[in-house]
Amino acid sequence: MVLAHQVDGDGPPLLLLNGGLMSLGAWEEYVSPLAHAYRVVRCDFRGQLLSPGPPPPLEGHAHDLADLLDHLAIDAAHVMGTSFGGEVGLLFAALHPDRVRSLTAVTATDRVRPEARTALQALIQACRAAAEGGDGGRVLDLLIPHTFSPDYLETHADLVARRRRQIAALPPAWFEGLAGLVASLDGLDLRPWLGRIRCSTLVVAAEKDLTFPVEEARALAAAIPGAWLELIPGAGHGLVIEAPERLIAILNEFLANLTLEQEGRS
């Protein structure tokens, strides 16, 4: 089975990896600014909206990505992933080094701390309750205070309310999938794998990230050989949604510098 995906534009391939609650449509604002320079590939992980089925263990997602690149006849791609997709991107770079040209890990972590276990378990419970017919909006209620910065919540209250209604209307299978995705983060510790990442890597941290706080991004960047760290002031964990223009600018600069560097070397 090939992951549900969408391809836009032309140029060097750029693979965008969803956060846990996202579907590939959530990257809409990124497509037109990036598609004129890159062949932008988006996908839903197994267990997300458009790629149904129980999600595999985390490395299974990395293998799915390799299969997707095979399907698209892409040797190697620039990869940008956020949160859950950031963790998968890190693993993809560690396990399939020849498929990843560069990695941008946004609001990701080196390991999911044991302190996060209670919150993850509560989230899994809420997903299971929603899958059995309960209020799916509860899942978002649990997540929102950890996902968006107070400023964003204040200025985007209507958008968040709409999002709550959308999520509450999703089918049980979506919540079951999400429960599985969250469970695969529980106890995750990528540290022994991070030293194996060989591609140029940029870690983008959000100053107000309550899910994977800035210290975790620092630890992540420190554990990857030669990785850069970029801090976005004011943003929360949902940086991809909160500040697309900032992130696109940072990504463009990172990729442009890589190209310069590679040309300089050759």
Q: Can you give the binding site for other proteins, defined by CB under 8 A? A: 1, 46-47, 53-60, 91, 111, 180, 183-184, 186-193, 195-196
Q: Of 47 and 236, which CB lies nearer to other proteins in the complex structure?
A: 47
In the three-class reduction of DSSP (H, G, I as helix; E, B as strand; rest coil), residue 109 is classed as coil
Determine phi and psi for 200, rounding to 5 degrees: -65, 130
CB of 17 to other proteins, least distance (A): 16
CB of 50 to other proteins, least distance (A): 16
Cα–Cα distance for residue pair 142/119, rounded to 1 Å: 9
Q: Quick one: DSSP state of residue 119?
A: H
Cα–Cα distance for residue pair 188/183, rounded to 1 Å: 9
CB of 189 to other proteins, least distance (A): 4
Other beta carbons less than 10 A from residue 162's beta carbon: 11
Determine phi and psi for 51, rounding to 5 degrees: -120, 75
CB of 130 to other proteins, least distance (A): 18
Q: Of 1 and 73, which CB lies nearer to other proteins in the complex structure?
A: 1
CB of 66 to other proteins, least distance (A): 14
Cα–Cα distance for residue pair 96/103, rounded to 1 Å: 12
Other beta carbons less than 10 A from residue 136's beta carbon: 24
CB of 57 to other proteins, least distance (A): 4
Q: Of 29 and 186, which CB lies nearer to other proteins in the complex structure?
A: 186
Cα–Cα distance for residue pair 192/211, rounded to 1 Å: 21
Q: Quick one: DSSP state of residue 70?
A: H
Q: Of 29 and 59, which CB lies nearer to other proteins in the complex structure?
A: 59
Q: Of 91 and 224, which CB lies nearer to other proteins in the complex structure?
A: 91
